[in-house]
Amino acid sequence: MQGKIIAFSAPSGAGKTTIVQRLLARIPELSFSISACTRDKRGRTEANGKDYYFISVQEFQEKIRHDSFVEWEEVYEGAFYGTLKSEVERIWENGHHAVLDVDVKGGVSIKEFYKDRALAVFVKPPSLEVLEQRLRKRATDSDASISARLYKANFELNFEDRFDVVITNDDLDRAVDEAERIVRAFITDESAIL
Ligand SMILES: Nc1ncnc2c1ncn2[C@@H]1O[C@H](COP(=O)(O)OP(=O)(O)OP(=O)(O)O)[C@@H](O)[C@H]1O
Ligand SMILES: Nc1nc2c(ncn2[C@@H]2O[C@H](COP(=O)(O)O)[C@@H](O)[C@H]2O)c(=O)[nH]1
């Protein structure tokens, strides 16, 4: 079996992490590709090597120099995130397909790098108003951070045409069902139904 790669991208707060976590529980052939990142770990809710590989900016720059990333971005000011080639290879060697949770530019880069071996999925919020409500309700970000995320979302929403599929995350159960159907078709090569 040839391993594939499925990248979920969205403006912050659209719900890609929620959808990815539910998909991982439904499709055992999928494994989450853990990114490297330079932001601080969030208290007790995150673990190194599970949510991210938390590394220093110096270590991150070293990996850039060694060409260790498929793609990387400074997603927020001073915070670098990147998909490690070694992580994707590890998942494929284990006979699984890699699932990524990356920002919108990252999703476009993954598609350009892996071409037909990749499926780039854009998760769209029903509206910017709903996006803001979700970010406020999630209560993980300051007002300044929410403003920055909404500002970025305005720009990112112009990129949906660069993706293979767009899923509107209105009703969560419906969106997860749609994602499951699309991903199962992709990994079993029934791409005609996409
Ligand atoms: N369809 C939905 N309806 C209502 N709330 C939702 C829905 N999908 C996700 N949420 C909630 O919206 C919030 C944002 O979701 P999530 O954290 O998955 O977004 P994200 O796109 O991964 O954001 P980030 O890029 O910041 O990690 C969470 O509190 C989540 O529970
Ligand atoms: N381009 C990439 N973006 C990534 C990667 N890993 C995560 N992300 C995106 O960063 C933001 C912020 O995430 P948070 O956990 O700090 O809230 C989010 O949109 C992720 O999708 C990556 O390897 N490359």
Sequence ranges of the domains in the chain: 5-187
The DSSP code for 39 is S
Instruction: Single out the residue of 15, 13, 2 nearest to residue 169, CA to CA.
Output: 15
Output the 3-class SS for 41-106: CCCCCCCECCCEEECCHHHHHHHHHCCCEEEEEEEECCEEEEEEHHHHHHHHHCCCEEEEEECHHH
Instruction: Single out the residue of 78, 81, 104, 84 nearest to residue 13, CA to CA.
Output: 104
Whether residue 191 is predicted with pLDDT greater than 60 in this model: the reply is no
User: With a 6 A CB cut-off, is 12 part of the ligand 2 pocket?
Assistant: yes
Instruction: Single out the residue of 77, 66, 63, 2 nearest to residue 35, CA to CA.
Output: 63
Q: How far is CA 154 from CA 114, 136, 179, 194, in A?
A: 27, 17, 23, 27
pLDDT digits (tens, 9 = 90+) for 109-162: 999 999 999 999 999 999 999 999 999 999 888 999 899 999 999 999 999 999
DSSP-assigned letters across all residues of 133-166: HHHHHHT-S-HHHHHHHHHHHHHHGGGGGGSSEE
Strand (E) or helix (H) holding 110:
helix 104-114
User: With a 6 A CB cut-off, is 16 part of the ligand 1 pocket?
Assistant: yes
Structure tokens at 50: 């599970």
- Using the mean position of ligand 2's atoms as its centre, give its distance from the Cα of residue 179 in Å: 19
pTM greater than the 0.80 cutoff: yes
The DSSP code for 1 is -
Give the ipTM of the model, two decimals please.
0.97
Among protein residues, the one whose CA lies closest to atom 10 of ligand 1: 15
- Calculate the CA 16 to chain-centre distance: 7
pLDDT digits (tens, 9 = 90+) for 20-70: 999 999 999 999 999 999 999 988 889 999 999 999 999 999 999 999 999
Among protein residues, the one whose CA lies closest to atom 12 of ligand 1: 134
Q: Domain 5-187, CATH 3.40.50.300 — does that match? A: yes
